[in-house]
Structure 1
Amino acid sequence: MGKPTWKDAVIIGKWGIWKPVWGGQLVMAGADSHLADKLRTVVRGQVLTDQESLRYYSFDQSIYQIEPRVVVLPEDVEDARRLVSFAVREGLPITARGGGSGTAGSALGSGIVMALPEHGCWNRISDFASSADMAQVRAGAGAYHNQLQDYLRQRGFFLPADVTSAEISRIGGNIATKASGPHALRYGSIDRFLEQVTFITDRGEVVDTGDEASIPERFRTRLVELRQRLHADRAAMAVLEARRQLKTASGYNLFAFLDHLSSGKLITRLLAGSVGTLGLVTEATVRAEPSERQQVVVLLYFADLVETARAVCALRELPVAAIELISRETLNIIRRSGRLPDSLAVDANLVLVELSGPAAVAELEKVENVLHAEGFRLLAGPVVAGTAEEIERLWAVRKQVLWLIRNPQPGFQALSVVNDVGVPPEHLAEFISEVEQVFARQRLTSLIYGHAGSGNLHLRPLFDLTQPGLPARIQLLADEIYQVVLRYGGTISGEHGMGRLRAPYLSREWGADLYGYMREVKEIFDPGELFNPGVVFSNSPITDHLREELLSVETSG
């Protein structure tokens, strides 16, 4: 049998989301049959060791390929608890996997991959309660994000942390990555909307952070001690306070220690962004906001990308809900797909501004006034979308950007390498200028888009996969881009969370002291490195475990 190639992939889904069915090292049928047999005496859910399943779970939306020994789909929380105890006895790490939408390789593991079924407690949405200005609802970790949003929308509410990958991402994954989305500018990340989380510890305990009595004493005691030492460390506290407004999902959420929270609330915040390394999240209670009854979206067209970024900084001073940026090069590739409405067909860098609330229409005049006062010149007149249908159509295109640009032409891919960086918004223009210089030096076409109002950009360079030396090119780009990011006080991840792609840069972002406090958090919750090792703390090259087709040129020569 010949070596599997990119052509062996299966293309499925509304937007052509790829889900590969090839693998790296082929696994003989029954190679782990003994392990599977033991597991089937412990759990009632599916236990998978067949070649096709292992290959499928070797991939997510990242550049990596890691084949697990076994995949388990637990029937319920008790099944998952038994799985943890089994993994401890067998000395096997557990990697929790949601929808496989991660871009940093945090949902891949070489031990046990715990995937969530699409039934039962895992995708259940229940216990809805509301008042005039807020609602709460409980969701299983396996519930899809758009499933939860539809449930809330029918009741007049929405979850403001509205990720653009809603059709394939799950609530557990959203919590794991500290997800946010375009409306983080106004509302922040998902940790602000977490009321309670249920998770399984490394000892198999089921903890409900809303029930202080269920929290193990070892967690409460050591977290209090850690908080006291952190508060006594003036230098560390100064860094956290200075970065508190930065949109970041890198490392553990130490910002939680700045507030005087109960043990349950503190743990809830720490689990947000922990990428499954502190425990296995099984469900959560989230807070929702009333749906905005009045919304307006205005499209602005600019000739120069740096000037576009300056306009973003000026506009974010207004009471806007979201400011999105899509570069000219990105739009040009989308245009070839034939998916652009006429309002996006202008050859320009685009800014999408959303205004919401009772004064949304009135605020439109302020947008025009700011642009005029600052001397910004538009390539074309602003286009205003005021109906629900028009607004939905524009947001639909924005949410499809990744799927439309990732394979723009044969031999080229817009790889996830530096795809989730962030800087303080006041430095956005200078940052983009330097980033474009890096891409130019490395002769890469730069596709830039993202949540510019929050300083969070998705950089997607087009790599030529037909040329040798791809691992070295990936490493060089990451090194240079992150150097620029950190020089401006930025972050290696704005909303997609940690993973193999970013772990080696974590200490550079936070410094040795705060990096040490993060290691202590891991030691408190998972001293035996049971949960998802290597995705928060690692010095391994980011080019280890690259997908097979990314190495095909190297091996074919």
Structure 2
Amino acid sequence: MTNLKESIGAAFRGDLIDDKIACVPYENDTSIFELKPRLVARPKDVEDIKTLVRFVSEHKNEDPSLSLTPRAAGTGMAGGALTESVVLDVTNLNHIKSVTAERAIVEPGVFYRDMDKVTKEIGVIMPSFPASRMLCAVGGMTGTNASGEMTLTYGSTRDWVKRLKVVLSDGNEYEFGPLTPNELEEKKKLSGLEGEIYRGMHELLEKNYDLIKKAKPNVSKDSTGYALWSVWDRETFDLTKLFVGSEGTLGVFTEIEFALTKPKEHRKLVVIFLKDLKILSTLIGKVLAHKPETFETYDDRVIKFIMRFLPDFVRVMKTGLIKLGLSFIPEVIMVLKGGFPRLVLLAEFTGDTEEEATQKAQAAFDDLKQFDLQMEIMQTQKEAERFWTMRHESFNILRKHSGKNKTAPFIDDIIVAPEKLPEFMPKLDKVMAEYKLTYTIQGHIGDGNFHIFPLMNLHNARDRDIVIELGQKVFSLVFEFGGSMSAEHNDGIIRTPFLRQMYGDTVYRLFEETKNIFDPQHILNPGKKVFGGDLAYVKDHIDKVY
């Protein structure tokens, strides 16, 4: 097919972009990869999406390279929205259709920040937002099963999606939600692709029921593979659980219904300086027993990096250097007493009243006194903001001052059960030390989820080799401890080659079968999750001018 744009024709009413310069923004997301799309399609509405899917389906045999990769805001770190075929940009589907105190119905191109503004006007939120909540769109959040600092209490996006409208690989739009066994049996009687999916998936899940339940990673959150274990419990059959986190490989979202909740208004932060990792699992257990809403961490490298580039931190805090320095006097005293911390832990407790939040924080503080730790309760939100800014802004400051080196997300989302961290972290340090990289560790300590961002110069062949070598070593270590290579960021290009190792051949084949049931021609974001490239493909597609 020589001219794809002309071939799609007038039936598509949105924008079709094949100009090389105009396509440049679609060659990257926030991952380390670069793929040059053949065409960018920006549909005007759902009918355009249906037209596009049907076109690709009808011409797949003629042109086997044809496929569609959905893309929303392009903030993913795994390369999930990149393709060398057709990008399906859903940014025109950006309508907030309705919001009540219980539900928000939105299109996939809606930015989370816009939905959040509307829901907060009536005192509710959708709480599974990631750190990129000011930049990301809800379609991407749903496609990756995004989560963030509030996940400890509220769960991942999969827990908040209650209904979906999806264009499947036959080019028709369908609605999905939870079904009773009787409703499932009625769906299985349908003709066409919808009936085939219900029959095929029910058979797959029932035939392999015990195996699938055992395959679920033993961590509090996970965004790898297909969440087969969440679909069917023999009481409820819910394919939304499968679509969430599927990275656009099973269908194209056209409408998402989120549940909403009323957040606690008052909060108190307990800051803990931890020098001895041997007590980490016991400490985490003690803190979690008091039910913090969030429990975050960053390591000593973050502190040192912030100190090195203190003027940037001052600007972010919108204060003066002397005033900021004076505000940290209590923490300086803590360091002098207890030594420089290996980790800083942030446990935030919330309540409907100031008194309730304070009581929770004080109870946790008192319970931790047995460990002889350096710690304090922040008395005001202004005091707490200093530590939250370190947690949230360290990545941006690191990226700004990296020079020729750039922050390289490829081991950026590992998760291990918290009780295993005292044994896991020294082994992780040993692996990282082999490569003498500058890097920081931060993340969600309550879940055992860490974001590691090395600084690398991907112009250099050796650094590209390290991406592969270090990725293999870190993921193998994570698997050894029963963890997952991605709690929040999903598989994309970077982690797809490791899924078979993580789950084993039998479960991986069930993932392949799932893909074939939904998308037998492999026209929807192929190469992600299953049937993907090997490590040589990963290395070849690293952005060398990143």
Q: Shorter-chain-normalised TM-score: which range? A: 0.7 to 0.9
Q: What does residue 420 of structure 1 align with?
A: 413
Distance 2:508 2:486 in 1: 15
Distance 1:306 1:409 in 2: 32
Measured after TM superposition, the shift of residue 94 of structure 1 is 0.3
In structure 2, the residue corresponding to 1:224 is in which secondary structure?
helix
Contact 2:219 2:447 in 1 (8 A): no
Measured after TM superposition, the shift of residue 402 of structure 1 is 2.7
Measured after TM superposition, the shift of residue 235 of structure 1 is 4.2
Contact 1:306 1:432 in 2 (8 A): no
Question: Which of residues 30, 35, 43 is equivalent to 1:74?
Answer: 43
Q: Root-mean-square deviation (CA), in Å? A: 2.4
Question: Which of residues 247, 250, 255 is equivalent to 1:278?
Answer: 250
Q: 1:261 to 1:544 in 2, by over 3 A?
A: farther
Contact 2:491 2:529 in 1 (8 A): yes
Q: What does residue 504 of structure 2 align with?
A: 511
1:247 equivalent to 2:221? Answer: yes
Contact 1:180 1:189 in 2 (8 A): yes
Q: What does residue 226 of structure 1 align with?
A: 204
Distance 1:310 1:63 in 2: 37
Distance 2:95 2:104 in 1: 11
1:64 equivalent to 2:33? Answer: yes
Question: Which of residues 368, 375, 384 is equivalent to 2:378?
Answer: 384
Q: What does residue 98 of structure 2 align with?
A: 127
Distance 2:241 2:42 in 1: 26
Distance 2:87 2:176 in 1: 25
Q: 1:284 to 1:467 in 2, by over 3 A?
A: closer
CA deviations over 1:64-85 (Å, ceiling 9, x no partner): 0000000011000111110111
Distance 2:138 2:415 in 1: 23
Measured after TM superposition, the shift of residue 408 of structure 1 is 2.9
Q: What does residue 334 of structure 1 align with?
A: 306
Question: TM-score, normalised on structure 1?
Answer: 0.85
Measured after TM superposition, the shift of residue 219 of structure 1 is 1.4
Question: Which of residues 451, 466, 469 is equivalent to 1:473?
Answer: 466
Q: What does residue 321 of structure 1 align with?
A: 293
Distance 2:529 2:485 in 1: 12
Q: What does residue 446 of structure 2 align with?
A: 453
Contact 2:410 2:467 in 1 (8 A): yes
Q: What does residue 159 of structure 2 align with?
A: 192
Contact 1:292 1:356 in 2 (8 A): yes
Q: Which amino acid is 2:266 matched to? A: Q
Measured after TM superposition, the shift of residue 354 of structure 1 is 1.2
Q: What does residue 259 of structure 1 align with?
A: 233
CA deviations over 1:153-174 (Å, ceiling 9, x no partner): 1111111202110111110100
Distance 2:235 2:72 in 1: 28
Q: 1:173 to 1:408 in 2, by over 3 A?
A: same
Quote the sequence identity (%). 25
Q: 1:330 to 1:95 in 2, by over 3 A?
A: same
Q: What does residue 437 of structure 2 align with?
A: 444
Distance 1:35 1:235 in 2: 44
Q: What does residue 83 of structure 2 align with?
A: 109
Q: Which amino acid is 2:369 matched to? A: H
In structure 2, the residue corresponding to 1:66 is in which secondary structure?
coil
Q: What does residue 11 of structure 1 align with?
A: none
Distance 1:203 1:274 in 2: 18
Measured after TM superposition, the shift of residue 299 of structure 1 is 2.1
In structure 2, the residue corresponding to 1:173 is in which secondary structure?
helix
* Mapping for residues 78-157 of structure 1, pairs under 5 Å: 78-91=47-60, 92-117=66-91, 119=92, 122-130=93-101, 135-157=102-124
1:237 equivalent to 2:206? Answer: no
1:430 equivalent to 2:427? Answer: no
Distance 1:453 1:521 in 2: 32
Q: What does residue 349 of structure 2 align with?
A: 355
Measured after TM superposition, the shift of residue 322 of structure 1 is 0.8
Q: 1:377 to 1:351 in 2, by over 3 A?
A: same
Distance 2:466 2:408 in 1: 12
Q: Which amino acid is 1:153 matched to? A: K
1:526 equivalent to 2:527? Answer: no
* Mapping for residues 527-542 of structure 1, pairs under 5 Å: 527-537=520-530, 538-541=532-535, 542=538
Q: 1:390 to 1:172 in 2, by over 3 A?
A: farther
Distance 1:218 1:115 in 2: 28
Q: What does residue 125 of structure 2 align with?
A: 158
Distance 2:233 2:461 in 1: 50
CA deviations over 1:114-169 (Å, ceiling 9, x no partner): 1123x4xx221132233xxxx11101101111111111111111112021101111
1:54 equivalent to 2:23? Answer: yes
Q: 1:37 to 1:187 in 2, by over 3 A?
A: same
Question: TM-score, normalised on structure 2?
Answer: 0.86
In structure 2, the residue corresponding to 1:283 is in which secondary structure?
strand
Q: Which amino acid is 1:319 matched to? A: K
Measured after TM superposition, the shift of residue 90 of structure 1 is 2.9
CA deviations over 1:349-406 (Å, ceiling 9, x no partner): 3211111124321111222223222x2422xx4241544x665675455333332223
Q: 1:200 to 1:468 in 2, by over 3 A?
A: closer
In structure 1, the residue corresponding to 2:52 is in which secondary structure?
helix
Question: Which of residues 25, 29, 35 is equivalent to 2:4?
Answer: 35
Measured after TM superposition, the shift of residue 309 of structure 1 is 6.5
Question: Which of residues 392, 402, 411 is equivalent to 1:409?
Answer: 402
Q: What does residue 18 of structure 1 align with?
A: none
Q: 1:269 to 1:384 in 2, by over 3 A?
A: same
Distance 2:234 2:449 in 1: 28
Q: Which amino acid is 1:202 matched to? A: S
Measured after TM superposition, the shift of residue 310 of structure 1 is 5.6
Measured after TM superposition, the shift of residue 544 of structure 1 is 2.6
Measured after TM superposition, the shift of residue 436 of structure 1 is 0.9
Distance 2:235 2:400 in 1: 46
5+ residue gaps, structure 2: 61-65, 318-323, 333-339
Contact 2:145 2:223 in 1 (8 A): yes
Distance 2:274 2:293 in 1: 21
Contact 2:219 2:416 in 1 (8 A): no
Q: Which amino acid is 2:68 matched to? A: I
5+ residue gaps, structure 1: 1-31, 551-557
Distance 2:241 2:219 in 1: 16
Aligned positions, number: 502
Distance 1:171 1:47 in 2: 23
Measured after TM superposition, the shift of residue 106 of structure 1 is 0.5
Q: 1:385 to 1:115 in 2, by over 3 A?
A: farther
Q: What does residue 547 of structure 1 align with?
A: 543
Contact 2:5 2:39 in 1 (8 A): yes
Contact 1:301 1:382 in 2 (8 A): no
CA deviations over 1:259-280 (Å, ceiling 9, x no partner): 23554xx211100110000000
Q: 1:390 to 1:531 in 2, by over 3 A?
A: farther
